Structure 1
């Protein structure tokens, strides 16, 4: 993953955090935010996206007249993309951990 991609993922994580907290992104201080809190909130947002997609999909399958196919597809794609982004972040964390672990003392 290139430096630009990492910055995009971090930007998306910050946007997810601002969505989750309901505060505008510009008023949040990223320096004061703990990494574990940011990661936890991002994981919760990914989980929420997946649950929402599953609920919409289930409602559509059951024939709910309020469930629109386009909304279902958008929710499913949003859940997929957020999960893939979280997987990439996890992979980078594992790579960084292995790199640190292999450093000579």
Structure 2
């Protein structure tokens, strides 16, 4: 299951990179983490904290779901700009983003439980 999620996330990254036109930029890692680029911190700036990254990721998932919902509503209303293919892709992106967020939450809860059960 973890390999499937990793595969889906890598496909989303590749699609997003192609959509932005950054075909040659392999350092841009953005899996719902806003504009944070992991592993790259400019001198003199403070790296974002875990809470900020998590909040940004949740906001990005929320935006994805709102966009999907808007596309679905536009398609149902007969808007010619909202074709079926784009609407289905938006819905699938929203679904994958939500499942990935739930998986991250599950991993965090499991890690917390493991730490709390450690003998002192």
Which category describes the TM-score, using the shorter chain as reference length?
Answer: 0.7 to 0.9
Aligned pair 1:68/2:74, yes or no? Answer: no
Q: Using the alignment, how far apart are the partners of 2:112 and 2:48 within structure 1?
A: 21
- What residue number does 1:54 align with? 69
Where does residue 37 of structure 1 map in the other structure?
52
Higher RCO (C-alpha under 8 Å, 6+ residues apart): 1
Which residue of 1 is the match for residue 116 of structure 2?
101
Unaligned stretches of 5+ in structure 1?
A: none
| Equivalences, count | 94
Q: Distance in 2 between matches of 1:98 and 1:27?
A: 28
Higher helix share: 1
Q: TM-score, normalization: structure 1?
A: 0.76
**Residue 33 of structure 1, CA deviation:** 2.0
Question: Which stretches in structure 2 are left out of the alignment for 5+ residues?
Answer: 14-28
SS of aligned partner of 1:77 = helix
List, as ranges, runs of 4+ consecutive aligned residues in structure 1 with deviation greater than 6 Å.
Answer: none
